[in-house]
Structure 1
Amino acid sequence: MHALSNTKEVREVTDGSFLSPKGFKAAGVEAGIKGNKKDIGLIVSEVPAVCAAVYTTNQFQAAPLKVTQESIAKEGRIQAVVVNSGCANACTGEQGLKDAYETRKMVADKFSLQEHLVAVASTGVIGVNLPMEKITKGIEQLNPGSSAAAAADFQHAILTTDTVMKTCCYSAVIDGKTVTMGGTCKGSGMIHPNMATMLGYITTDALVDQAALQLALRNVTEKSFNQITVDGDTSTNDTVIVLANGMAENKTLNAAHPEWDVFMELLTKTSESLAKQIAKDGEGATKLIEVEVRGAQDSLDARMMAKQIVGSSLVKTAVYGADANWGRIISSIGQTKGAINPAAVDIAIGPIVMLKNSEPAAFSEEEALEYLKGDFVQIFVDLHNGDASGKAWGCDLSYDYIKINASYRT
């Protein structure tokens, strides 16, 4: 682990993962749900970990979410998380709920855990029952470890239409102890939080008060996972779970702790990194789009406008086609309910100013075309109407998005 010269500094651990914090192991195996691909994964902590979670706002919440919510409510701690891909176990009625409970029990029995210390999650096709024989087979094979290979096995096991694994790791010193936080997630399509078709897992060896952790996750989620969009759809299974097992042996963290801001920065950086990785890996995506709105009356207005812009199909297709059509951007701003002065808006795509005080600015189409050909596109909006700002992330909309989703079940 990197030595930290500044106790307030949060550093990225470039070779780290969600297994870098003390006391965590993982596994991923092929159970046959997705043919010859890994499809059941496990994260386990040496000791029960304080747990916080946020979930989809879709009214059709899948069976595993209900079981996980019940587990966490028991005492606010979780020791293991089991995930299957290839089948969402959503809209599956009483049988789906029974299968989720049975999955939880099998993991608890295998690793000698209390059942309420196991969280379950599923991702994949909606309306299909879990193939329980395959689930049983997969759980029997789980043999968690702490190596980079074990981390990769878990990450592969949770993927659906994702094209890459998503991970990050950060560390800082709190109470003189090195505290590490790592994260991994899956998500590529049906991304339009609050939340998205994403599963996110954040691990840390920090000791944190459960109520403080839950509030922190909810607040950070609003500015990270809930600020990404791929296609405007919200799924039935979306969950982000934070596990804090306390093995760094710092003093209990809460809002009154003098270094609470350091922990909050760890959580913010981890969540933003994972959120941007999801947006970049949107189904069929060729570019990551970041929108920053400045000069708003409040941060909620700024975030809402940024998300409206990055979620616009017209903006997304313009970015895909490298067309500097700023008219689509200002149209998106005007569709929101945020306070604006229609005569005072600036718009820039990358370094190229295209609108100044709501009037067209001369710019080079060739320069704009060259910028938009890159794989990272930034859009800046200044409302000149306040001091607040907000960001959102998304991706372009390509022909491949249609190809992927037209044949998702086949």
Structure 2
Amino acid sequence: MAVGDVSMPQMHVVKGVRIGSAEAYVRYPNRRDLVVFEFAQGTQVAGVFTQNAFCAAPVHISKLHLSQTNPRYLVINTGNANAGTGPTGLKNAKDTCAEFAKIAGVNENEVLPFSTGVIGEQLPMERLIAGLKPAFESLEDDVWPQAASGIMTTDTLPKGASEQFEIDGVVYTMTGISKGAGMIRPNMATMLSFVATDAPIARELVQKLLKTTVEQSFNRITIDGDTSTNDSCIFAATGQAGGAEITSKEDARYSVVLDVLTRVMKRLAQLIVRDGEGATKFITVSVEGGANTQECCDIAYSIAHSPLVKTAFFASDPNWGRILAAIGYAGVQDLNVDKIQVWLDDVQICKDGGAAADYTEEAGAKVMNQSEITIRVDLGRGSAKDTVYTCDLSYDYVKINADYRS
């Protein structure tokens, strides 16, 4: 059961983007598990990918193709990650691109492959290839919600975000989808996200916009601390809504696009946490007063990754000593614990490194019973701050992952 507002908004059409899907039976019958995106000629495409050294075959191929040209098509399958599959897996990813390129009438490197699902199994290529033509023939511009459903694995709900914004009298759209619920940790995770706008943006700025917004969204979430083999995030700017191309960060329009993309990316990332496998609590970990951003992140992730902290939140148990322990083992050098303050929402639980004099177990328990909670930490050693989003760790997380391959 997802936490909080996880509703699918109105998914506005992005001019220059069409999406198709098919039932390819990659793993499960009677569900759409093959999704394709088509971008108009001239679309500028950027991507960021997992930093896991064991990255999947489609990640290798997508990075290669992106370095060679501006892709026109994305091919995404769920149910099978095509990771840990060796030379055969690489060949299967290449063959997927080659077969789809024939259908679409483009070069092989104009197709990017993406996979998500079980690691270590070869793709059922006969079924996957058979699904390519039906997916291509179903291309439409107003099926973003169906695409969000088509890329799900253990997700309980499709995830989407969409905004329209106006610049110099022209109305533009920013729409995106994501998937992910487990094996989620920064440096991307077992998540896929595809976001597009019809604003005209130069390719180098498309890449900068993506990297900037991913850093404050998908690279600020964690569910279980596991960095996946397949995570990928694509941002495409079709330019089909008109207007002069944005070619400089100094262009006033750049900051407008950045703000919109940041909101869309954060929404998509937070939806993954809200739908974390077995999650019952959405937790914001905010660390301020750091000497630099890195130590704020180190402490935030130390808290967010701690199984003891996460299980305490699942139990609604204000065992705040676990939070202090996670702060202490985060590896921050010369940390003066006597200056540390900690709050659960507005309830101060730790003051100057010890129990706050007016703290009561009743007040802590009241916050812990909420479905959305903020842990705020002030290190008292500088002006840096950062925020990480996570969830609790429940019985269902173990059940879901124990039964994942069955």
Provide the residue aligned with 2:222 in structure 1.
229
- 2:67 aligned with 1:73, yes or no? yes
- 2:392 aligned with 1:370, yes or no? no
Which of 283, 291, 297 is the matching residue for 1:297?
291
Provide the residue aligned with 1:102 in structure 2.
95
Provide the residue aligned with 2:3 in structure 1.
none
1:179-328 aligned within 5 A: 179-253=172-246, 254-328=248-322
> What secondary structure does 1:259 align onto?
helix
Q: Label 1:167 to 1:127 Cα distance change in 2 as closer, same or farther (>3 A).
A: same
Q: Structure 2: how far apart are the matches of 1:297 and 1:171?
A: 38
Displacement of 1:276: 0.7
> What secondary structure does 1:330 align onto?
helix
The answer to whether the 8 Å contact 1:284/1:401 transfers is: yes
Displacement of 1:241: 0.6
Q: Structure 1: how far apart are the matches of 2:206 and 2:352?
A: 42
- 2:345 aligned with 1:341, yes or no? no
The answer to whether the 8 Å contact 2:33/2:151 transfers is: yes
Q: Which moved more, 1:29-38 or 1:173-182?
A: 173-182
- 2:82 aligned with 1:89, yes or no? yes
Residue identity opposite 1:84 in structure 2: N
Provide the residue aligned with 2:169 in structure 1.
176
Q: Post-superposition, which runs of at least 4 consecutive aligned residues in structure 1 deviate over 4 A?
A: none
Q: Deviations for 1:83-139, whole angstroms, at most 9, x for unmatched residues?
A: 000111111122211111111122222222232221110011111111111112211
Q: Deviations for 1:288-335, whole angstroms, at most 9, x for unmatched residues?
A: 111111111222222222122111111111110101122111211122
> What secondary structure does 2:72 align onto?
strand
Displacement of 1:365: 2.3
Unmatched tracts of structure 2, length 5 or more: 1-6
Q: Structure 2: how far apart are the matches of 1:167 and 1:57?
A: 24
Which of 339, 342, 351 is the matching residue for 2:346?
351
Residue identity opposite 1:373 in structure 2: N
Residue identity opposite 2:388 in structure 1: A
Residue identity opposite 1:170 in structure 2: E
Provide the residue aligned with 2:4 in structure 1.
none
Displacement of 1:247: 1.3
Q: Structure 1: how far apart are the matches of 2:140 and 2:360?
A: 55
Q: Structure 2: how far apart are the matches of 1:301 and 1:173?
A: 38
Q: Deviations for 1:331-362, whole angstroms, at most 9, x for unmatched residues?
A: 11122233643111111111211112222112
Displacement of 1:212: 2.1
Unmatched tracts of structure 1, length 5 or more: 1-12
Q: Deviations for 1:11-53, whole angstroms, at most 9, x for unmatched residues?
A: xx98433x53222121222111212222101121233421111
Q: Which moved more, 1:308-317 or 1:294-303?
A: 294-303
- 2:140 aligned with 1:145, yes or no? yes
Displacement of 1:202: 0.9
Q: Structure 1: how far apart are the matches of 2:301 and 2:258?
A: 23
Q: Which moved more, 1:304-313 or 1:78-87?
A: 304-313
Displacement of 1:141: 1.2
State the identity %.
37
Provide the residue aligned with 1:406 in structure 2.
402
Q: Which moved more, 1:166-175 or 1:376-385?
A: 166-175
Residue identity opposite 1:391 in structure 2: T
> What secondary structure does 2:318 align onto?
coil
Q: Deviations for 1:184-225, whole angstroms, at most 9, x for unmatched residues?
A: 111111111211001111111121122222123223222211
> What secondary structure does 1:390 align onto?
strand
Q: Structure 1: how far apart are the matches of 2:157 and 2:211?
A: 26
- 2:102 aligned with 1:112, yes or no? no
Displacement of 1:82: 0.9
RMSD: 1.8
Provide the residue aligned with 2:41 in structure 1.
47
The answer to whether the 8 Å contact 1:39/1:86 transfers is: yes
Provide the residue aligned with 1:397 in structure 2.
393
The answer to whether the 8 Å contact 1:225/1:275 transfers is: yes
Q: Which moved more, 1:351-360 or 1:317-326?
A: 351-360
TM-score w.r.t. length of structure 2: 0.93
Displacement of 1:248: 2.4
Residue identity opposite 2:245 in structure 1: T
Q: Structure 2: how far apart are the matches of 1:341 and 1:170?
A: 44
Residue identity opposite 1:394 in structure 2: T
Displacement of 1:59: 0.6
Q: Structure 2: how far apart are the matches of 1:324 and 1:244?
A: 46
Q: Label 1:197 to 1:21 Cα distance change in 2 as closer, same or farther (>3 A).
A: same
The answer to whether the 8 Å contact 1:48/1:78 transfers is: no
Displacement of 1:371: 2.4
Provide the residue aligned with 1:158 in structure 2.
151
Displacement of 1:373: 1.9
Displacement of 1:399: 0.7
